[in-house]
Chains A and B, each alone.
Chain A
Amino acid sequence: MFIIRFPIANRIDDLDDLGQGFTSAASLIISLDTDLLSILNLSLRVSLSAVFISCIIGFPLGAFLAYYKFPGQKGLVIILNSLMGLPPVVVGLIVYMLLSRSGPFGVFGLLYTPTAMIIAQTLLVTPIIGALTRQILEDLWFEYSDYLKSLEASKIDSMATLLWDARFSLATVLLAGFGRAIAEVGAVMIVGGNIDHITRVMTTAIALETSKGNLSLALGLGIVLLITTLIVNALAQLIRTKYN
């Protein structure tokens, strides 16, 4: 899959697997392998899309559960909190069965496409975003309730105010969701199928290279993924300090 040119001549044999891992990470980055770039791009596309959709669902859901108290609300919160621990393979399996040609949504032919991967990761990330948002907003609601009530703010306005004032905490929630999505391998492996050039992402590529026994290349890919996550987090921090 990757053509690796080691810039640091033939000294590679002297290094152990760990050392070789860093060397192959360096050469992957230096050579800017087009295969690597497209895999990295797909990883980001799938995970960022999933996080984006999860935020659209999770933020209002969290706000709703923080603002309204109704019978069964506690139960819903417990369920949402436990869904944060959903095993990726289980989500992968469920999405596989739903999207399989023999499943209820089989007619759309979505299995083994990036869309299927986005659906699976959205299911994984939404509970994290929803549950953490609820906790943050509920804490904030204790401080704000008298003030918002005195202003006679509508329910929608109150929830919007809570979301807006918690935006910096929610940015961290978003990053937690992104971390879960980008690092996950179980679900995308099952619903994506790890097809070269189509549904191969960083984590499934790492699993594949490990299974081929190319341990140093696998580790190199892992380091590249780690650096990418670092860059995304640094960008988020930059935005935060700028507008804080």
Chain B
Amino acid sequence: MRPIQVFFIYLTVLIILPAEAKSRDLILATTTSIDSSGLLEYLLPKVYKKLNIKIKTLVRGTGAVLKIGINGDADILLVHDKDSEISFVEKGYGSFRKEVMTSHFILIGPSKNPADIPTNENTVNALNQIAKSKSLFISRGDESGTHKAELRLWRLAGITPNETLKRRYLETGSGMGATLNMASALNAYTITESGSWAKFNNRGNLVTLINHTSDNTYGIILVNPKRHKHILEINGRKFINWITGLEGQKAINSYKINGKRPFKGTSLIEEKNK
């Protein structure tokens, strides 16, 4: 057969082939920090093996994920901004919310440390140092969980970054990875999440300056099937029960990046505290 004929046959097959499978997979909308950490690539095959549920993941910032949930374009949301999660469920957009796991936020910056932040400084002082220095600070600026956590830290420090840092405070409006790339290229300080940072490959001169600025709690929400009839409630509940159950929690705890375990299952933490 001549190559041209092969090409046309290929083209015809492409167009005729059915575009998608008949039954719908469960759709999980989650945050860019979770996606950057690689956790789901580790968990989802286990879910498929155990529950025979296939899951499609969609990745946006927490604010955008909640909007996807309001529109009913995902079945399950895995996000990290407790206040907006609770109000999401209270407004009836979600059936219920369960806490899944925690990691923490960290402060990273250039290894030359132009703002002279001492090691193991507390976060409030460190942010004040940055505000006083001439260094750049990069913010997600996208209403994501990480962005809101960062804003809480500025509030704790009593600083309004837009006013104090002015043009040294850069809001990227992008995902975690894009923001880290910018921080790396500009030698800037930024707040990021421990899991995404552990997995990030383009660090340049960036180093961790504060290992734990605040806790980062992830909650899981089932989008309310009463508002959207097409929501896959049964499989959604099965998945939520698995990930908040012993097996899922153990799997989360055992996920390692470069020898570190960035996530801790919520129910296992509580048991330890008892």
A100 at the interface (CB under 8 A from B): yes
Interface string of A107-132 (1 = CB under 8 A from B): 00101111100100000000000000
Residues of A202-229 contacting chain B, CB below 8 A: 210-215
Are A112 and B73 in contact, CB atoms less than 8 angstroms apart? yes
Q: Which residues of chain A are near B203, meaning CB under 8 Å?
A: 213
A48-B11, A118-B19 known; A242-B57 Cβ under 8 A: no
Stretch at the interface among A76-84, A150-158, A191-199: A191-199
Shortest Cβ gap from A178 to chain B (Å): 11
Q: Is A102's CB within 8 Å of the partner chain B? A: yes
CA A115 to CA B15, docked complex, whole Å: 11
A106 to B180, CA, bound (A): 35
User: In the assembled complex, which residues on chain A have CB atoms less than 8 Å from the CB atom of B184?
Assistant: 213
* Residues of B contacting A45 in the complex (Cβ-Cβ under 8 angstroms): 14-15, 17
Contact call B72/A194, Cβ cutoff below 8 A: no
Are B201 and A212 in touch, CB under 8 angstroms? yes
Please tell me if the beta carbons of B20 and A238 are within 8 angstroms of each other in the complex: no
The residue in A44, A111, A213 that gathers the most chain B C-beta atoms within 10 A of its C-beta is A213
The verdict on B181 contacting chain A, using a C-beta distance below 8 Å, is yes
> Are A44 and B14 closer than 8 Å at their CB atoms?
yes
Q: Tell me the bound Cα distance from A93 to B57 in angstroms.
A: 19
Bound together, the chains give a CA A214 to CA B180 distance in angstroms of 12
Residues of A within 8 A of B176 (CB): 211
Cβ-defined contact, B14 with A49, below 8 A: yes
B82 CB to closest chain A CB (Å) equals: 25
Interface pair B73/A111, CB less than 8 Å apart? yes
**Cα–Cα distance between A106 and B36 once the two chains are bound (Å):** 30
Chain A interface residue bracket vs B: 20 to 34
Q: Are A109 and B24 in contact (CB under 8 A)?
A: yes
Please determine whether B72 and A211 come into contact, CB atoms closer than 8 angstroms. Answer: no
Residue-wise interface mask of A (27-54) relative to B, using a CB-CB cutoff of 8 A (1 in contact, 0 not) = 0000000000000000011001100100
With an 8 A cutoff between CB atoms, is B84 at the interface?
no
A171 at interface by CB-CB < 8 Å: no
User: In the bound complex, do residue A212 and residue B199 qualify as a contact, i.e. CB atoms below 8 Å apart?
Assistant: yes
User: Closest CB of chain B to A214's CB: distance in Å?
Assistant: 5
> Cβ of A167 < 8 Å from any Cβ of B?
no
C-alpha spacing A238/B8, complex, angstroms: 13
Partner of B58, one of A1, A48, A193: A193
When chains A and B are docked, how far (Å) is the Cα of A193 from the Cα of B3? 34
The reply to whether A115 and B20 form a contact with Cβ atoms under 8 Å apart is: yes
Chain B contacts of A193 at CB under 8 A?
56, 58-59
Tell me which residues across on chain B come within 8 A of A211, comparing CB atoms. Answer: 32, 36, 174-178, 181
B24 touches A48 (CB 8 A): no
How far apart are the CA atoms of A34 and B27 in the complex, in Å?
Answer: 24
Is B202 within 8 A of A215, CB to CB? yes
Measured CA separation A112–B15 after assembly (Å): 18
Partner of B15, one of A49, A101, A109, A242: A49
Partner of B73, one of A52, A100, A195, A198: A100
Interface residues of A (CB under 8 A from B): 1, 44-45, 48-49, 52, 100-103, 106, 109, 111-115, 118, 193-196, 198, 210-215, 235, 238-239, 242
21 contacts between A and B (CB under 8 A): A48-B14, A48-B15, A49-B14, A49-B15, A52-B11, A100-B71, A100-B72, A100-B73, A102-B70, A113-B20, A114-B20, A193-B56, A194-B59, A198-B25, A198-B56, A212-B36, A212-B177, A213-B180, A213-B181, A213-B202, A238-B4
7 interchain residue pairs of minimum CB distance: A211-B177, A213-B202, A101-B72, A213-B201, A102-B71, A45-B14, A115-B19
Binding site for A on B (CB under 8 A): 3-4, 7, 11, 14-15, 17, 19-20, 24-25, 27, 32, 36, 41, 56-59, 70-73, 174-178, 180-181, 184, 199-203, 228, 230
